[in-house]
A and B are shown apart, each in its own frame.
Chain A
Amino acid sequence: MTKHTQSLADNERWLGRVMIAPAIVYIVALVGFPFFLALFYSVSNITVGSTETSFIGLENFRHLLHNRTFLRALRNTFVFAFVSQALVLVLAKTLALSLLKDFRGKWVVRLLILLPWVAPISLGSIGWLWILDSVYSVINWTGRALGIFGPATWPIWLGQPTLAMASIITVHVWRLLPLATVILLGGLTSIPQDIHDAAAVDGAGFWRHNFQITIPLVLPIMLVAMLFGVVFAFTDMIVIYVLTRGGPYDTTQVLASLAFFTGIDGGDLAAGAAIALFLFPVLAVSAILMLRLARRTEVT
């Protein structure tokens, strides 16, 4: 018995296989299988409860291209992903830079910044629901009390298409900011102090220092974080699900939420799968590009 366990632990080939097996099972069962199922659905006419399905080729995709709701969601997805990423990037960089400096009560600020990340997202979103509520909105009442909002101004944050989109982006940024800040902070602290000192002595001012020294040196890690952020923004729907459910009139749908509402809530599995897979080629290519870029940029 002892002999047997020992030989397994000593046999690297088998040990490796045994240890990687759970990961493979997990990927096959929860990623691979659904992915191929979706591929299959997207070229069929399957619906929830249908007993027979037939192959209809790219009909689902062609159909989508004539669907106004889909086109709107497609545009929203890009707006949502890029605006939120840009904001996260700028804000996280600013926050990380200011957290790098030593000051009193730094740990309190760090804790506050990390809080949105450790709190359950649904809890945070419910807080936001209240902040953005049509009747009880904290922003509106504060604005009114301070006299910033006149008697005729009463924005319905989640009820007007543009405001609703802005609200969703804001909450998404709020949610991703902590992680992005911590990642950047890690990248920034890995730059030796001597490099910063050398730049200061060499005469670099704030902008030159930032754009020619600091940013290039954290670029690889920033690219990975950005890749993660973009893919996340393209595929995540929880903020939308909690705040607007895609409303008003489907004006805040993104592909992920539309796929869910069409395929699961609406029961049109084939159309849902087609929506979900629509951006797959774009995402795959952008992932490959960014990973290559990250590998080519070098830090020592």
Chain B
Amino acid sequence: MATVETRDIRKLFGDVKAVDGVDLLVKEGEFLVFLGPSGCGKTTLLRMIAGLETQTSGDILIGGQVVNDLPPRARKIAMVFQSYALYPHMTVYRNIAFPLKAQGFPGDQIPQKVEWAASTFGIGKLLHRKPRELSGGERQRVALARAVVREPSVFLLDEPLSNLDAKLRTSARDELQQFQRRIGTTTIYVTHDQVEAMGLGDRIAVMSGGKVRQLGSPQEVYNEPADTFVAGFLGSPPMNLFERDDYIAGFRPETFLPVGLHDTSEPLVTLWAKIHRVEHLGADRLLYGTMRDTFPNEKVIINIPFTVEMQITPGEVYEFAVKEKDIKFFDRSTGLRTEPRRFWEKRS
């Protein structure tokens, strides 16, 4: 177990700034998720921590020790790749035993360790098979078993679940989290799937354009986005953002409800919107519309839980309300979060 720290780390590929000055401290035993859109530099950052890619500048520390010049094998890490990267010519047993042999583990204890790792992931019966004789889910387990068998101090996982179907992904996510809690190894997990990030992470580092935009718990990044990128990236549908003179105001679709549905103990802001289209998504009802008065003709998305039975007809104008504290403000030029403003009339 160890901490992982990056200090102003950068990576240039020619002119492309893949990673552009990242400062991070992953705590001991923590499950940290790198979340961001495709091409934002998540994999590159992870590969630099693994030592598979050399940083252009900056320092990497594992367990408080600078590892800039250490090769991957000296960093006491284990990595699971998106493709799983199982050795195709070796049986499952030899795949799992490979890191032990490579690190000079005493030969007579290897079978026992392999058995342990395999049974942890329920693949004890597959040890004699070759990777091509396994299903996607089984391969993923073999990859995990190969990673844990050497008891590394840090786990690095690069979208390990993205090749699984939706159902398997949910159960694998569950198992992965339970397993991590049990062994308590510091873990860095890369994904572009926000549901995965929210569900797994102790903290989430939201990345874009090679930078970390926000680092915080799932609740923090969701409820208190640090800038308009984070606000627009998280949540589906994302936060409604409205540009005004020098600021941007925003609120989440599920906080903007028909007036009658709010309890009135908290200060509310009421706004009118014309609804154009209604979408029924099982648990939710999505309303697509445009705002009236304060933000004329700006598009808005509203998310009402299906338990609300109110009739809503496309083409009609309705009065909605949002709690004052649910409205977030951002600077228009920098996109960064600012102090709350008032754009509404004081409600009498």
Q: A200-B72, A201-B78, A205-B102 are in contact. Are A216 and B89 (CB under 8 A)?
A: yes
Which residues on the A side are within 8 Å of B78 (C-beta)?
A: 201-202
Residue contact B85 to A300, C-beta cutoff 8 Å: no
B34-50: which residues lie under 8 A (CB-CB) from chain A?
47, 50
Cα(A208)–Cα(B99), bound, Å: 11
What total of chain B residues lie within 8 Å of the partner, measured CB to CB?
28
Residue contact A194 to B89, C-beta cutoff 8 Å: no
Closest Cβ of chain A to B190, distance in Å, is 14
A-B CB contacts (within 8 Å), total count: 71
Closest Cβ of chain A to B130, distance in Å, is 7
Q: Is B314 an interface residue (CB 8 A)?
A: no
Chain A proximity mask over B242-272: 1 for CB below 8 Å, otherwise 0: 0000000000000000000000000000000
Residue contact A217 to B73, C-beta cutoff 8 Å: no
Cα(A50)–Cα(B102), bound, Å: 70
A191-209: which residues lie under 8 A (CB-CB) from chain B?
192, 194-195, 197-205, 208
Residue contact B71 to A298, C-beta cutoff 8 Å: no
A5-57: which residues lie under 8 A (CB-CB) from chain B?
none
Chain A proximity mask over B51-91: 1 for CB below 8 Å, otherwise 0: 11000000000000000000111000111011101111100
A198 in complex: contacting residue of B47, B81, B103, CB < 8 Å: B81
Q: A192-B85, A194-B85 are in contact. Are A200 and B98 (CB under 8 A)?
A: no
Categorize the interface residue count of chain A: 20 to 34
Q: Is A213 an interface residue (CB 8 A)?
A: yes
Cα(A216)–Cα(B71), bound, Å: 24
Cα(A213)–Cα(B87), bound, Å: 7
8 contacts between A and B (CB under 8 A): A195-B85, A195-B88, A198-B81, A198-B87, A199-B98, A201-B72, A204-B98, A216-B89
Besides A192-B83, A202-B102, A297-B89, 20 new A-B residue pairs in contact (Cβ under 8 A), listed by A number = A195-B85, A195-B87, A197-B72, A197-B85, A198-B85, A198-B86, A200-B51, A200-B52, A200-B72, A200-B73, A201-B50, A201-B78, A202-B73, A203-B99, A203-B102, A203-B103, A204-B98, A217-B89, A299-B88, A300-B88
The 5 tightest CB contacts between A and B, nearest first, are A194-B85, A203-B102, A198-B85, A203-B73, A202-B99
A: residues with CB less than 8 A from B are 192, 194-195, 197-205, 208, 212-213, 216-217, 297-300
B: residues with CB less than 8 A from A are 47, 50-52, 71-73, 77-79, 81-83, 85-89, 98-99, 101-103, 130-132, 146, 150
